Amino acid sequence: MRIVFIGPPGAGKGTQAERLAEKYRIAHLSTGDMLRAARDARTEVGCEADKYMSAGQLVPDAIIIRIIQARLEEPDCQRGYLLDGFPRTITQAEALDEMLAQRGTPLDVVLELDVPEDELFNRLAGRGRTDDTPEVIRQRLVAYREQTQPLLDYYGERGLLKTIDGLGTIEEIFERATAVLNDYA
Ligand code: ADP
């Protein structure tokens, strides 16, 4: 199973992604987690990425594409994976398509978690992560709207997009997600 999981910041995507990857026994590839780990380990890439992350901006495509390319080579990805937070731009989506075409391993489905923007702001403001100041939150929502939302058309045109309602309990949303993903398991 190869899944892309798309949703705005604050949608609860990380929580669902972790549970879904466990249920289907596939790797959970969270680019946000990878970048935070690199930042905390103070690697060169991590320090470079931090400049963008702390401002609520997307890290440059070239950096993130290189990270994902290396990650997909690892043995735990051979059974499949759930991409959480990648791709986030059309350039990243095109790079992913190219990587997967070379491997002959196309995506099965792109799952969108749909949550209205006013709900997101409240949730993010309540989360208390150090990068969650109001200005940074606003910037992250703008980045989502301008750079990531176009992917919904990109994958829609390719017949890959499935959207679920992201309002409800963790359990309810998990049920909706598995109702879609069971078709590809
Ligand atoms: P969020 O809390 O916005 O859902 P994540 O934990 O997925 O965010 O990512 C945190 C930050 O890491 C993003 O705001 C962005 O700066 C960076 N990031 C993560 N994934 C990507 C990506 N695919 N492309 C560019 N930047 C990324």
Given this model, what pLDDT does residue 48 score?
Answer: 97
DSSP assignments along the chain, one per residue: -EEEEE--TTSSHHHHHHHHHHHHT-EEEEHHHHHHHHHHTT-HHHHHHHHHHTTTPPPPHHHHHHHHHHHHTSGGGTT-EEEES---SHHHHHHHHHHHHHHT----EEEEEE--HHHHHHHHHTT--TT--HHHHHHHHHHIIIIITHHHHHHHHTT-EEEEE--S-HHHHHHHHHHHHGGG-
**Can you tell me which atom of ligand 1 is nearest the CA of 13?**
4
pLDDT for 70 beyond 90: yes
Given this model, what pLDDT does residue 125 score?
Answer: 82
pLDDT tier, 155 (very low <50, low <70, confident <90, very high otherwise): very high
The residue whose CA has the least distance to atom 16 of ligand 1 is: 53
Given this model, what pLDDT does residue 122 score?
Answer: 84
pLDDT for 59 beyond 90: yes
Gap from CA of 62 to ligand 1 centroid (Å): 14
pLDDT for 127 beyond 80: no
The residue whose CA has the least distance to atom 19 of ligand 1 is: 32
Given this model, what pLDDT does residue 121 score?
Answer: 84
pLDDT for 38 beyond 80: yes
- What does the mean pLDDT of the chain come to? 95
pLDDT tens digits along 78-99:
999 999 999 999 999 999 999 9
Which residues does the annotation mark as catalytic? 13, 88, 127, 129, 140
pLDDT for 53 beyond 90: yes
Gap from CA of 22 to ligand 1 centroid (Å): 22
Given this model, what pLDDT does residue 117 score?
Answer: 87
Given this model, what pLDDT does residue 123 score?
Answer: 85
> In the predicted model, what is the mean pLDDT of residues 103-116?
96
pTM above 0.85, yes or no: yes
